[in-house]
Amino acid sequence: MARAGLDTAAVVRAAAELADEEGVERLTLAALAGRLGVRSPSLYAHVDGLADLRARIGVDACRALRDALAAAAAGRAGAEALRAVAGAYRAWALAHPGRYATVGAELASAQTVREAAAGVVEVMLAVMRGYGLEGEDAVHGTRAVRSAVHGFVVLEQQGGFRMAADPERTWERMLTMLDRGLRDPA
């Protein structure tokens, strides 16, 4: 029987794609094995069970998200950086719903994901410095922006914006609120 030639990275990547396409809840070892042309016990050679697989997806997702944010922030400051980073965050989350949901789910349970998520926060803290915020002020600002953006993205993905008003306009206004709040912290 021909070998599929898998390794951990390939398994995790395929799992992330499966989660994005079918939804996190339908990411099962059986489905993943089927997609890879392999029996499910074979996956244990590359990954230590479903929980480990999910944690690995979360770590990879955090790094990819951080890279996307860092690219968006490059060469910008202040309101421009805020809008670029927030837009990149939203775009990445919408493009990779399964990966993004995994980060949220694993944040509470997987230490490795928490550490990887710190990289995302790093980029946001850098944006705060562009507003002249340091130390605790920067933390408060980062948390507020992260809360708003995360909440918006989650609600948008869940189809939470069903009333007759353009979500793009809501997004714009929310960013304006955040920008003004960061410019003049209470």
Partner DNA sequence: ACGCGGAGCCTATGAGTATTAGGTATCCTT
Partner DNA sequence: AAGGATACCTAATACTCATAGGCTCCGCGT
Residues at the interface with its own copies (CB under 8 A): 104, 107-108, 114, 117, 121, 136, 139-141, 143-144, 146-152, 154-155, 157-165, 167, 169-170, 172-174, 176-178, 180-181, 185-186
Give the shortest CB-61-to-its own copies separation in angstroms.
Answer: 15
For 154, the enclosing helix (H) or strand (E) is helix 135-157
Q: For the chain, how long is the longest CA-to-CA vector?
A: 67
DSSP 8-state class, residue 107: H
Q: Does 4 bind DNA (CB under 7 A)?
A: yes
Distances (CA, A) of 10 to 17, 68, 75, 79: 11, 21, 34, 39
Decide whether 2 or 164 has the Cβ nearer to DNA.
Answer: 2
Q: Euclidean distance between the first and final Cα of the chain, in Å?
A: 67
d(C-alpha 14, C-alpha 140), whole Å: 37
* Residue 38 contact partner, candidates DNA, its own copies, none, CB within 5 to 8 A by sort of partner: DNA
The neighbour count for residue 63, using CB atoms within 10 Å, is 14
Binds DNA by CB under 7 A, chosen from 13, 22, 35, 40: 40
* Residue 64 contact partner, candidates DNA, its own copies, none, CB within 5 to 8 A by sort of partner: none
Q: Is the dihedral of CA 101, 131, 84, 60 positive or negative?
A: negative
d(C-alpha 150, C-alpha 34), whole Å: 33
Decide whether 9 or 71 has the Cβ nearer to DNA.
Answer: 9
Q: Per-residue contact track with DNA, 51 to 80, x per CB under 7 A?
A: x-----------------------------
Binds DNA by CB under 7 A, chosen from 16, 20, 46, 56: 46
Binding site for DNA (CB under 7 A): 1-7, 28-31, 33, 37-42, 44-46, 49-51
